[in-house]
A and B are shown apart, each in its own frame.
Chain A
Amino acid sequence: MKLPFAANPHERQLIPDGRFTGPMPWVMAIMLFLSLLAAAAALALAHSASLGSQSLSRQATVQLLENDPGARTSQQRQVASRLRNLPGVSDVTIVPESEARALLEPWLGDVAEDSDIPVPALIDVEFSVAPAPDRLSALRRELQRIAPSVRIDGNAQWLKPWFDLVSSMLWVAIAIVALLLFATAATVALAVRGALNTHKGTIEIVHMMGGTDLQVARLFQRRVALDALFGGALGLAAAVAVVLLLGERLAALEPGLLSGASVPLYGWPLLLLIPLAVTGLSMAMARWTVLSTLKKML
């Protein structure tokens, strides 16, 4: 089978470049730019969700609601010590009382620093795998023997709505990429039909001289491939610039839920593959359009 780029210069003359090129490369560039942004967003969200599930959902906060400050501090040490000896617990950090009071400051103002107001004693716990609700309940029952007022909040519980949102956004991004690819294929089909109409006379002559449908299709495939590659390079350059700029802005944010929302290393080759995939898709679409149109001719 002859490759689409193998058409010799004389074959290429049959469909003059100037008449077919027109706005196609620019339309392809815009489509690819949008596709790449959507794909980059999908990759970043997937990365963020993955990081979240790997780290945040493995964490839990133990609260001790004892009113007596002395007993509270004592229970905090005992509970932390017990936790450190439990299997599956990878890290235990006692949150200093000053930090706990600082957490209340947005709600209570300067009063939060008043030592007369009881503040729960906090312990951050990190598990080697995200604990299931049953595991947390069992742990709470065990710790209640040391501190009857103990409460355990697993991060996975309050992070669930966030992960659900990320998951929905991920699917929306994938759907946008799919729709843009569909629109690109439709654009190619329309452009090729237009070009076939423009060059109908030439194609009829080529047919009458014994030219095959594949010979004609190859000419259009080549033209479309060049347009897609040109548009792809342009769209890729613009999309990479935007993604890097947004990544820089995200990196400047305070650590939080969005801090992991950047394109991971493994995502860049995938993004580079999109223009090539679109080129292949466009060529396949051009070939299908030409062959199905020519089939109606004798």
Chain B
Amino acid sequence: MQSVAEFDNVGLRYGTGAETLTDVSFKLFPGSFYFLTGASGAGKTSLLKLLYLAHRPSRGAIRMFGEDLANMPRSRLPGFRRRIGVVFQDFRLVSHLSAFDNIALPLRIAGISERDLEGPVNEMLEWIGLTERASARPATLSGGEQQRVAIARAVIGRPEMLVADEPTGNVDPDMALRLLKLFAALNRLGTTVVVATHDIHLLQEIEGAQMMRLDKGRLSDPTGALRHPPRPLVLRN
């Protein structure tokens, strides 16, 4: 089975500092659900940045969707990025755009017409419970509402891979579960999902999800899942 992402002895260093990630090797398979755990500063966000192509590795090789990134020209990166949805830890909503426009952003960048994007964006707003706040700017939204908008923005383009950095950190348990259900639903449609989280309880919510654990920049595979083909996913509750 061709992997969605394949890391081979990847190292990442910012400037001349110590390596943030060391000898990281793994494969992510299509349609799989992964949790990435680890203590603060273990390198989760750095690993996700490599996954959503915000950085190139200092060493090692990365293959995304079957293509080697090492020699890939910059001009080809946007095409790959459109296949990846990202939920940033700090949301990174565009402050002067409304909730509607923030969610519509990936579709507009991809050149979807206004007529065609209105329905999906409104549907997404309804799903995250923010229909009434469609025209609100991020500054007027609560932390949880901003996070929901960020998640809606990441999934609206039906990406092949969804990368989420602490997506449930600012929402109540009910909303966290709803968001996980959305991720699981996307996953069932074929999207590979990688969720970085501190919340160990989330791991129990999705049976079949695989776990990657980072410890001081090194990846461990406590469940052995990364060495085996993915199992069918079952969402508990």
- Are A210 and B56 in contact, CB atoms less than 8 angstroms apart? no
- Are B101 and A10 in contact, CB atoms less than 8 angstroms apart? yes
Task: Name which of A198-206, A254-262, A269-277, A280-288 contacts chain B.
Answer: A198-206
Q: Complex formed: what's the CA distance from A213 to B78 in Å? A: 9
Residues of B contacting A55 with CB < 8 Å?
A: none
Q: Complex formed: what's the CA distance from A205 to B154 in Å? A: 11
**Is B77 part of the contact surface with A, judged by Cβ < 8 Å?**
yes
- Are B94 and A210 in contact, CB atoms less than 8 angstroms apart? no
A-B contact count (CB 8 A): 58
Q: Complex formed: what's the CA distance from A208 to B96 in Å? A: 18
A11, A211, A215: residue with the most chain B Cβ atoms closer than 10 Å = A211
Dominant SS among interface residues on chain B: helix
Smallest CB gap from A210: residue in B: B82
A16, A205, A208, A211: residue with the most chain B Cβ atoms closer than 10 Å = A208
Interface residues in B44-76 (C-beta closer than 8 Å to A): 52-56, 74-75
- Are A208 and B52 in contact, CB atoms less than 8 angstroms apart? yes
Q: Which listed residue, A201, A208, A215, A295, touches B81 by the CB 8 Å rule?
A: A208
Would you give the 0/1 interface string for B95-129, flagging 1 where the beta carbon is closer than 8 Å to chain A?
01100010011101110001000000000000000
**Is A85 part of the contact surface with B, judged by Cβ < 8 Å?**
no
Residues of B contacting A13 with CB < 8 Å?
A: 96-97, 101
Q: Complex formed: what's the CA distance from A133 to B96 in Å? A: 76
Residues of A contacting B109 with CB < 8 Å?
A: 206, 209-211, 215
**Is B79 part of the contact surface with A, judged by Cβ < 8 Å?**
yes
Residues of A contacting B53 with CB < 8 Å?
A: 208, 298
Number of interface residues of B (CB under 8 A): 27
Interface residues in A151-205 (C-beta closer than 8 Å to B): 201-202, 204-205
**Is B149 part of the contact surface with A, judged by Cβ < 8 Å?**
no
Q: Complex formed: what's the CA distance from A16 to B97 in Å? A: 10
**Is B209 part of the contact surface with A, judged by Cβ < 8 Å?**
no
Smallest CB gap from B117: residue in A: A10
**Is B86 part of the contact surface with A, judged by Cβ < 8 Å?**
yes
**Is B92 part of the contact surface with A, judged by Cβ < 8 Å?**
yes
The verdict on A11 contacting B108 (CB below 8 Å), with A202-B94, A208-B81, A209-B81 known, is: yes
Which residues of B pack against A, CB within 8 Å?
Answer: 52-56, 74-75, 77-82, 86, 92, 94, 96-97, 101, 104-106, 108-110, 114, 153
Shortest 9 CB-CB contacts between residues of A and residues of B: A210-B82, A210-B81, A209-B106, A210-B78, A211-B109, A212-B78, A209-B109, A202-B94, A16-B96
Which residues of A pack against B, CB within 8 Å?
Answer: 8, 10-11, 13-14, 16, 201-202, 204-213, 215, 295, 298
Could you list 14 examples of A-B contacts with CB < 8 Å?
Answer: A8-B114, A10-B101, A10-B108, A11-B108, A13-B96, A13-B101, A205-B92, A206-B109, A207-B78, A212-B78, A298-B53, A298-B55, A298-B56, A298-B74
